[in-house]
Structure 1
Amino acid sequence: MSVVIVGGNECMERQYMNICKQHGCKAKVFCKYQAGLADRIGNPDLLILFTHTVSHKLVRCALDNKAETTDVVRSHTSSKAALSDILSAYAQ
């Protein structure tokens, strides 16, 4: 399963990727807006938005460029526990 995480804390980017790997998922993490982001999102199975720590521009870009079959999950907290709970519910 492929996962794209938008938002969150930059210092936890590696930890987000490790948690996804533990759940058997390939992950891309975008904590800040970067040039060419629309092309880098791709076609993930799951799009996770950490809404508390993300800019409106980044959310809009991610939602506009996702595929129709992509599931979107919004979480107000960007903790490891929140990510783990989301992945245990969706990645089975």
Structure 2
Amino acid sequence: MLVLPSTLTHAKAGACLQLLLQGLKAEQGSQVLVDCAALSVFDSSALAVLLECRRAALYDGKQLATRAMPQPLLDLAGLYGVQELLAPAAA
């Protein structure tokens, strides 16, 4: 499972993305879960990071699912029309 940090803004997006992409390569199985529970301070860069992780996962033949996305981030994803691309993990 990949885990987002508590803060994911433009200033930290590049470094966070690199760490997540490294973790993605180590993930086994057909689905990669991203835990968003710790995320409390973010901007639209958080969506960009998640979408890039999704792209990389799909390239590797894996599906990306999210867990515990904060409601404001879900709202932002809805505003940009990408909420269906960042599907929550099946319960």
TM-score for the superposition, normalised by structure 1: 0.34
TM-score for the superposition, normalised by structure 2: 0.34
Higher relative contact order (CA 8 A, sep 6+): 1
More strand by share: 1
